[in-house]
Chain A
Amino acid sequence: MLAAAGATMPDRTARRRLDVERVVRLVLIALFGALLYLFVLYPMLQVLWRSVLDGDGRFVGLANYLRYFRTPAIAASITNSLWVSTVAMVLTVLLAFIYAYGLTRTRMPGRGFFRVVAMLPLFAPSLVQAIALVYVFGNNGILTRQTGINVGIYGVRGIVLAEVFSCFPHALLILVAALSAADARLYDAAAALGASRTKTFLTVTLPGVKYGLMSACFVVFTLVITDFGAPKVIGGKYSVMATEIYNQVIGQQNFTMGATVSVVLLVPAVVAFLVDWIVQRRQYALVSASARPLRPGDGALGRRLSLGYCAVVAAFIVGIDLVILTAWRSPRSLPSPGRSSRSRARISSRRPGPRPVRRSTCSRSCPSPFPAWCSGSRTSSRSTRPAAC
């Protein structure tokens, strides 16, 4: 009897604990389910639904999509987005790969410092990088006024540059993780078999980071194609899909077309996500349990090269951040890009083509240091606005 009671007691408490666990689990699932529905699924369904309605709320099927692809000015935003995303992806991943290689595979001094500096762009949205670029390279930017050279930052160049800056840490984090997990035995085997540096790189290093590289590519591509801030601030007349949605909805009050573009914009992002997911699932353990961690070699040449490279990249990142900081601290001492927006407006008014945004946002004259059309953007953070607006 006693023994039986002793046996059932812990059994009962265990069952009670299980019950509590189940309740907590259900509550949490319900909570997060509701949150996800409210903030993700519901808006997305709304957007999907809107994209098949006309302006008066009648169901029109895929008519909006047809109109979208048939309007050259709007359809151009697709190719523009793809082009910008691809270029930014290639550049970012390439630059981040060399940087990550320096951090993980050489014994250059200051690796911890360089790693921290490279993370700086994470603390500001791409929009801020773009604003800093306008401060430096804009029509009335610091560099432009000092040297008289206008690099023409508004457009593809500016967007790509800003995106490279803001996506660099994302790519770097993935690539550092990928490059850190190296199997020294494979490098030993390659060396013993007499492989050259190039052959070792192609047959051991690259295959080892294949999945990391693909991940980095997809992450950067998705980040860039869905980014709104940088193209809005520095894109000038170059229209990408994210800004096109904004133009349609805010500029022209065309909610259905905005929704249509949104759905189209979703496609590359979803595709990138799916491919990444499939790749991750297929990834087998490249580094087995018996792997020996790789000790970076002590080649002086590699160390110096990577030190030089990392120093240049870090200098750019710090430079951009310094521009942001000084602009925030002493707005008056900086050249007022507000004037530049006017001069830019003059330039752009000479160019043909409609600028739908200007209609709505430039009605209000504002001494903002940003191009006037930027003041319509609600995404810009207060702290980065140097002037009272």
Chain B
Amino acid sequence: MAETVPEVAGARPPAVALEGVTKTFGQVVALRGVSLTVADGEFVCFLGPSGCGKTTLLRIIAGLERQNAGAVRMLGRDVSSLPPSQRNYGIVFQSYALFPNLTAARNVAYGLEARRAARRDVSHRVDELLELVGLRTHRDRYPAQLSGGEQQRVALARALAPSPSLLLLDEPLSALDARVRHGLRTEIKQLQRRLGIATIMVTHDQEEALTMADRIVVMNHGVVEQIGAPAEIYTEPTSLFVARFVGQMNVLAATTESRPGWARVGAVALRCRPTISRAAGMPVTLGIRPEEIEIGSVRNVENRIVGRVSSVQFLGAFTRVAVTAADASLPLLQCDLSVSAFADAGIKEGMELPLALPPDRVRVFDRPT
């Protein structure tokens, strides 16, 4: 699904194309030469910790902030220096930002009125959109009379009313409580699919990004760390930052051995996923996800470690077991076990547990010195 996106992008000019966008606030560099494209109909998430520049990037696309260098193109049109009103997008803010003095219907009509649409068309379109978000009966209520989820749906309807070619979502779900958030997540995704509108969503919630996006742009310190489909980001993180930010990762400080594909952690030599060959003695970081560690198996003879269970954490669908390796140079390892695997192994705190780190799962990252 995600792999087909670049071909679609070739057929039509991308909904958004950023070329070397740079933004500084005084001495602080918020964005450093960001380039990326969003294909027509694609759902892209900007994911990153707070302060990574993802919201600034969205605001630059929206024209609410002006970049210091670089270009913004929409459907092939250079909009770099155009005001927000001439960019044809809809935006939903984190905390709704509905006009408190206008009813739901007037809020939705706002963008249409600003574009001087005929009054009858406006009224018709407002009904249509409130219907779309399931709030037709709430058309005459004021924002203060609506719940958080309802307000955000009105905001969504308001953004979509002028039929924009691009939808921007600035952490639209973070102000809502968990249940409403999950419901609205599916709703937004379905709506986006149905309308086929190119969408950019900013979020710091990796789960949100993984479930909703066609492609994820992971950002850190104003730089794009990795762009890829959710599965790719999760299984093939290209940097340690991405590996640790998306999902859990056991991290082991190691040095490369002279044998290619091997690294040494203290006294233990581990075979790793084959990557670009590095010189011997280079400091690297090894990473393996908790659910990738195998327990008690004897068939895998490579990368075997014996440890002692130091704590057991029940997390519902799976159980997280922390294992202290017998070799003191190895850090505490987290292993996620399915409920049945946990029961089969009969794990108790303090018991000895053999582990295996499958070599093709042990990723190698450069360690900054």
User: Which residues of A approach B to under 8 Å, CB–CB?
Assistant: 183, 185-186, 188-196, 199, 203-204, 207, 210, 284, 286, 288, 290-291
CB distance from A282 to the nearest CB of B (A): 12
CB distance from B58 to the nearest CB of A (A): 11
CB distance from B145 to the nearest CB of A (A): 11
User: Which residues of B approach A to under 8 Å, CB–CB?
Assistant: 62-64, 83-86, 89-91, 93-95, 97-102, 110-111, 113-115, 144, 158-159, 162, 175
Cα distance A193–B86 in the bound complex, in angstroms: 10
Tell me whether A199 and B97 are in contact (CB under 8 A).
no
Cα distance A192–B85 in the bound complex, in angstroms: 6
Provide the residues of chain B in CB contact with A194, threshold 8 Å.
84-86, 111, 114-115, 162
Tell me whether A189 and B97 are in contact (CB under 8 A).
yes
Tell me whether B110 and A195 are in contact (CB under 8 A).
yes
Instruction: Name the 6 nearest CB pairs between A and B, nearest first.
Output: A194-B85, A193-B111, A185-B97, A207-B101, A290-B95, A194-B114
Cα distance A68–B303 in the bound complex, in angstroms: 106
Tell me whether B62 and A185 are in contact (CB under 8 A).
no
Tell me whether B101 and A191 are in contact (CB under 8 A).
no
Known A-B contacts A186-B99, A204-B99, A286-B100; A195 and B93 likewise in contact (beta carbons under 8 Å): no
Tell me whether A192 and B64 are in contact (CB under 8 A).
yes
User: Which of A190, A192, A196, A203 lies in contact with B101, CB distance below 8 A?
Assistant: A203
Query: Can you add 18 more A-B contacts, CB < 8 Å, to A190-B110, A193-B114?
Result: A189-B99, A191-B85, A192-B64, A192-B84, A192-B159, A193-B162, A194-B84, A194-B111, A194-B114, A195-B114, A199-B113, A203-B99, A203-B102, A210-B101, A284-B144, A290-B94, A290-B95, A290-B175
User: What are some 20 contacts across the A-B interface (CB < 8 A)?
Assistant: A185-B93, A186-B99, A188-B62, A188-B97, A189-B97, A190-B99, A190-B110, A191-B63, A192-B90, A192-B91, A193-B85, A193-B114, A193-B162, A194-B86, A194-B111, A196-B114, A203-B102, A207-B99, A207-B100, A290-B175
Tell me whether A288 and B95 are in contact (CB under 8 A).
yes
Tell me whether B144 and A183 are in contact (CB under 8 A).
no
Provide the residues of chain B in CB contact with A183, threshold 8 Å.
97
Cα distance A186–B99 in the bound complex, in angstroms: 7
Provide the residues of chain A in CB contact with B114, threshold 8 Å.
190, 193-196, 199
CB distance from A211 to the nearest CB of B (A): 11
Provide the residues of chain B in CB contact with A191, threshold 8 Å.
63-64, 83-85
Closest chain A residue to B64, Cβ basis? A188
Closest chain A residue to B89, Cβ basis? A192
CB distance from A284 to the nearest CB of B (A): 6
CB distance from B234 to the nearest CB of A (A): 31
Tell me whether B93 and A188 are in contact (CB under 8 A).
yes
CB distance from B269 to the nearest CB of A (A): 53
Provide the residues of chain A in CB contact with B85, threshold 8 Å.
191, 193-195
Cα distance A138–B86 in the bound complex, in angstroms: 56
CB distance from B190 to the nearest CB of A (A): 24
Cα distance A188–B110 in the bound complex, in angstroms: 13
Closest chain A residue to B106, Cβ basis? A203
Closest chain B residue to A290, Cβ basis? B95
Tell me whether B110 and A203 are in contact (CB under 8 A).
yes
Provide the residues of chain B in CB contact with A288, threshold 8 Å.
95
Provide the residues of chain B in CB contact with A190, threshold 8 Å.
99, 110, 114
Tell me whether B93 and A189 are in contact (CB under 8 A).
yes
Provide the residues of chain B in CB contact with A192, threshold 8 Å.
62-64, 84, 89-91, 159
Cα distance A263–B114 in the bound complex, in angstroms: 51
CB distance from B91 to the nearest CB of A (A): 5
Cα distance A290–B162 in the bound complex, in angstroms: 27
B63, B97, B114 interface centre (most CB from chain A within 10 Å): B97
Provide the residues of chain A in CB contact with B144, threshold 8 Å.
284
Provide the residues of chain A in CB contact with B93, threshold 8 Å.
185, 188-189
CB distance from B314 to the nearest CB of A (A): 35
Provide the residues of chain B in CB contact with A196, threshold 8 Å.
114
Cα distance A203–B114 in the bound complex, in angstroms: 11
CB distance from A150 to the nearest CB of B (A): 48
Provide the residues of chain A in CB contact with B63, threshold 8 Å.
191-192
Cα distance A186–B83 in the bound complex, in angstroms: 16
Closest chain A residue to B91, Cβ basis? A192
Cα distance A288–B162 in the bound complex, in angstroms: 27
Cα distance A207–B143 in the bound complex, in angstroms: 14
Cα distance A203–B158 in the bound complex, in angstroms: 15
Closest chain A residue to B158, Cβ basis? A193
Provide the residues of chain B in CB contact with A207, threshold 8 Å.
99-101
Provide the residues of chain A in CB contact with B100, threshold 8 Å.
207, 286
CB distance from B252 to the nearest CB of A (A): 41
Cα distance A97–B102 in the bound complex, in angstroms: 23
Tell me whether A185 and B95 are in contact (CB under 8 A).
yes
Cα distance A324–B18 in the bound complex, in angstroms: 63
CB distance from B74 to the nearest CB of A (A): 14
Closest chain B residue to A200, Cβ basis? B114
Cα distance A286–B97 in the bound complex, in angstroms: 11
Cα distance A191–B114 in the bound complex, in angstroms: 10
B64, B91, B93, B100 interface centre (most CB from chain A within 10 Å): B100
Provide the residues of chain B in CB contact with A189, threshold 8 Å.
91, 93, 97-99, 158
